[in-house]
């Protein structure tokens, strides 16, 4: 996948997308990297640790989260992307559902659009992607972040998600986006029960039929914390070491079952995990 001054190679090496949340309320690290200097330091560390992509998001998409204004999202993300593009050579993705945020982010130095709505929330987004020729990540989500975890139901989990991707990929192509620039994300944790998430990881290979790279994002999510919590109703904090162990297990399974790129909060640990997993996969 080559565009402008960037390229990504899919195959023997699984790629790592490092997560940079410049938000106050993300489930995993809310507020930790909200300030400019801490965001910069964390992003540069992720690049040094081996990240192939750095994903910058200014609006939390955790379950039951409330949307923020375009102006606030721009205020959070654009200064970070502008400076980060000067400091790292890996492509930066903008995690947004708003075309105006994506447009300004691309002008500031971002090179990938990561849209959790798969273009369903802003009709201008596919036109922008086609015009700029950048890669796009299209994710499956049942509902919106505010509603997605209110009793998600499927008659055929994998079949329904495949039908969704058939529809949104076709729509993207019709808008002028090249198939070679499309990445799909089955949306672990987005409108899924805990059981659904484990099923998605187990059957990740079902999405290989689309002939495009598959992204998996299980990092620190509630289905992992729920499975690992002690015999009480208390949740485990996302940054606890045991959650990191669970995350690496989920990442390993996703890659062995077909994921080409994984989204991670801890890039150093994920890169170490993938050195072994990729060696096993390619043996």
Catalytic residues: 221, 263
- The residue ranges of DSSP E strands in the chain, in sequence order, are 2-3, 6-7, 15-21, 53-57, 92-95, 112-115, 136-139, 182-185, 215-216, 261-264
Contacts of 23 (CB under 8 A, 6+ apart): 30, 31, 34, 57, 58, 59, 60, 76
How far, in Å, CA of 71 to CA of 62, rounded? Answer: 20
Q: Which residue has the tokens 């994903």?
A: 55
Q: Which residues contact 92 (CB under 8 A, 6 or more apart)?
A: 53, 54, 55, 56, 81, 84, 85, 105, 109, 110, 111, 112
Judging by DSSP bridges, how do beta strands 2-3 and 6-7 pair with one another?
antiparallel
CA distance 179 to 4: 17
Task: Select from 142, 250, 259, 254 the least CA-distant residue to 190.
Answer: 142
């Amino acid at each position: 996948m080559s565009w402008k001054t960037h390229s990504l190679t899919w195959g023997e090496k699984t790629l790592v997308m490092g997560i940079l949340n410049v938000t106050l309320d993300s489930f995993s690290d809310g507020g930790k990297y909200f300030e400019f200097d801490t965001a910069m330091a964390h992003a540069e560390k992720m690049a040094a640790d081996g990240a192939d992509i750095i994903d910058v998001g200014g609006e939390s998409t955790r379950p039951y989260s409330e949307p923020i204004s375009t102006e606030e999202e721009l205020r959070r993300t654009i200064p970070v992307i502008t400076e980060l593009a000067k400091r790292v050579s890996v492509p930066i993705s903008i995690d947004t559902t708003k075309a105006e945020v994506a447009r300004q982010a691309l002008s500031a130095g971002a090179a990938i659009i990561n849209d959790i709505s798969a273009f369903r929330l802003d009709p201008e987004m596919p036109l922008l992607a086609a015009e700029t020729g950048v890669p796009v990540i299209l994710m499956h989500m049942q509902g919106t972040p505010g509603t997605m975890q209110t009793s998600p139901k499927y008659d055929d989990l994998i079949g329904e998600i495949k039908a969704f991707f058939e529809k949104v990929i076709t729509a993207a192509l019709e808008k002028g986006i090249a198939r070679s620039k499309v990445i799909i994300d089955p949306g672990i944790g987005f409108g899924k029960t805990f059981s659904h998430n484990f099923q998605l990881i187990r059957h990740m290979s079902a999405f290989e039929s689309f002939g495009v790279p598959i992204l998996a994002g299980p990092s620190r999510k509630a289905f992992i914390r729920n499975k690992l919590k002690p015999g009480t109703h208390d949740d485990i904090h996302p940054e606890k070491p045991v959650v990191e162990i669970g995350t690496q297990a989920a990442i390993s399974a996703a890659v062995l079952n077909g994921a080409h790129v994984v989204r991670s909060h801890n890039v150093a640990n994920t890169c170490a995990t993938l050195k072994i997993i990729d060696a096993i996969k390619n043996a």
